[in-house]
A and B are shown apart, each in its own frame.
Chain A
Amino acid sequence: MLPPIFGVLFDGVAYGMLLFVLSVGLSVTLGLMNFVNLAHCAFAMLGGYVTVVLMRDFNWPFFATLPAAFFASAVVSIIVERTLYRRLYRATDLDQVLLTIGLAFISVAVAAWFFTTQQQPITMPGYLRGSIDFFGLNIGLYRLFLVVVGIAVTILLIVTVEHTRFGAQVRAAVDNQRMARGLGINVDRTFAITFALGSGLAGLGGALAIEIVGLDPQFALHYLVYVLIIVSVGGLGSILGSFAAACLIGISDIAGKYYVPELGAFLIYLVMVAVLMWRPAGLFGKR
Chain B
Amino acid sequence: MNRHFIAGAALLAAATLPGTASAQNTVKIGVISAYSGQFADTAAQIDNGIKLYMKQHGDTVAGKKIEIIRKDTGGPNSDVAKRLAQELVVRDGVDILAGFTLTPEALGAAQVSEEAKKFMVNMNAATAIVVTKSPYMVRTSVTLPQISETAGTWLATKGGAKKVYTMVSDFGPGIDAETGFQRAFKAAGGEVVGSVRMPVANPDFSAFVQRAKDQNPEAVFVFVPGGAQPAAIGKAFADRGMDPTKIKIISTGEAVDETAVKAMGDVALGRLSAWHYDYNQKSKMNDEFVKAFNAEFKRNPDFFAVGGYDGMHVIYESLKKTSGKADGESLVAAAKAMKWESPRGPVSIDAETRDIVQNVYIRKVEKAGSAIVNVEFDKVENVKDPTHGRK
Contact = CB atoms under 8 A, between A and B. Distances in A.
Interface of A: 4-5, 7-8, 11-12, 15, 108, 112, 116-119, 121-124, 129-131, 138-140, 142-143, 211-218, 222, 226, 253-258, 261-262, 264-265
Contact of B228 (A108, A119, A226): A119
A121 B213 CA distance: 27
Given A116-B41, A118-B259, 10 more contacts: A11-B236, A11-B239, A12-B207, A116-B299, A121-B260, A138-B241, A143-B239, A214-B227, A214-B228, A261-B207
A261 B210 CA distance: 11
Contacts of A129: 265-267
Interface string B19-49: 0000000000000000011101101100000
Contacts of A217: 40
Given A117-B44, A216-B228, A265-B170, A15 B203 contact: yes
B262 interface: yes
B383 interface: no
Contact of B198 (A108, A140, A213, A261): A261
Contacts of A139: 239
B287 to A, nearest CB: 22
A217 B214 CA distance: 36
Contacts of A142: 235
Given A214-B228, A258-B207, A258-B211, A118 B239 contact: no
B197 interface: yes
B267 A130 contact: yes
21 contacts: A4-B214, A7-B210, A8-B206, A8-B207, A8-B240, A11-B207, A112-B40, A117-B43, A117-B44, A119-B228, A119-B263, A129-B267, A130-B238, A140-B235, A142-B235, A214-B228, A216-B41, A254-B207, A255-B207, A258-B207, A264-B202
Interface string B258-300: 0110110111000000000000000000000000000000010
A4 B213 contact: yes
Contacts of B210: 4-5, 7-8, 258
A115 B147 CA distance: 32
Interface in B104-127: none
A268 to B, nearest CB: 9
A116 B228 CA distance: 15
Please indicate which of the listed interface residues A5, A7, A12 has the most CB atoms of chain B within 10 Å of its own CB: A7
A274 B70 CA distance: 45
Nearest to A120: B259
Nearest to B199: A265
Nearest to A11: B206
Q: Which 5 A-B pairs have the closest CB atoms?
A: A214-B228, A121-B263, A265-B199, A11-B206, A140-B239
B41 A131 contact: no
Interface string B189-223: 00000001111111110111011011000000000
A124 B264 CA distance: 9
B263 A122 contact: yes
Contacts of B200: 265
Contacts of B204: 11-12, 15, 212, 253-254
Residue of B37, B196, B228, B235 contacting most chain A CB atoms (<10 Å): B228
A258 B196 CA distance: 10
A7 B214 CA distance: 13
B199 A264 contact: yes
Contact of B231 (A108, A131, A214): A214
A264 B41 contact: no
B333 interface: no
A208 B344 CA distance: 37
Interface in B147-203: 170, 196-203
B38 to A, nearest CB: 5
Contacts of B211: 258, 261
B44 A116 contact: yes
Contacts of A108: 36
A34 to B, nearest CB: 29
Interface in B224-257: 227-228, 231-232, 235-236, 238-241
Contact of A121 (B37, B41, B203, B259): B259
Interface in B322-366: none
B38 A218 contact: yes
Nearest to B263: A121
A130 B268 CA distance: 12
A71 B41 CA distance: 29
Given A4-B213, A15-B203, A255-B207, A121 B38 contact: no
Contacts of B214: 4
A124 B43 CA distance: 29
A218 B75 CA distance: 12
B41 A119 contact: yes
A130 B206 CA distance: 14
Contacts of B213: 4
B4 to A, nearest CB: 42
Contacts of A118: 41, 44, 259, 299
A214 B263 CA distance: 9
B318 to A, nearest CB: 30
Contact of B239 (A116, A138, A214, A258): A138
B238 A131 contact: yes
A258 B206 CA distance: 8
Contact of B265 (A123, A254, A261): A123
A137 to B, nearest CB: 9
